[in-house]
Amino acid sequence: MTEQQIIALLPYQEPFLFVDGLSAFSAEGITGHYTFQKNAYFYKGHFKNNPITPGVILTECMAQIGLVCLGIYMLKDELSDHTNPQIALTSSQVDFFLPVYPGEKVTVVSEKELFRFNKLKCKVKLFNENGDLVCRGRISGMIKA
């Protein structure tokens, strides 16, 4: 399965797609990136005159790359180009350390902890362009072909 095939199977579209590309993927983990557009809808009002990316959006970016893209890769033998994988987030725990500003590119690194009975649990980290750790946590979900 290729990077383009994984991204094409994502059940998201603009303005709620937070995956630009994948640089590495295997049965053990995945690495991908996204650049937050300066005019994204969620910057209006978060915060007045000092916009930063909301933590819930950073968590969503980590889930889309670190959980959903990895889950699609893990189910590659069961999926086709016409399949719409079903995804449900079951839990997330994230610690935040640094802000992400409009226009910043982030990299998500995810390591599989568990994949059994279509439940995927990952350790996920998000880094800014300088390689600084922005946030980290564990995200779990159910993925079905």
Q: Which of 145, 141, 144 is nearest to 67 (CA)?
A: 141
Residue-wise pLDDT for 117-144, tens only, equals: 999 999 999 999 999 999 999 999 998 8
Is-catalytic flag, 82? no
The catalytically annotated residue of 1, 12, 35, 46 is 46
Residue-wise pLDDT for 13-69, tens only, equals: 999 999 999 999 999 999 999 999 999 999 998 898 899 999 999 999 999 999 999
In single-letter form, the type of residue at position 127 comes to F
Domain edges within the chain: 3-144
> Which CATH homologous superfamily contains domain 3-144?
Hotdog Thioesterase (3.10.129.10)
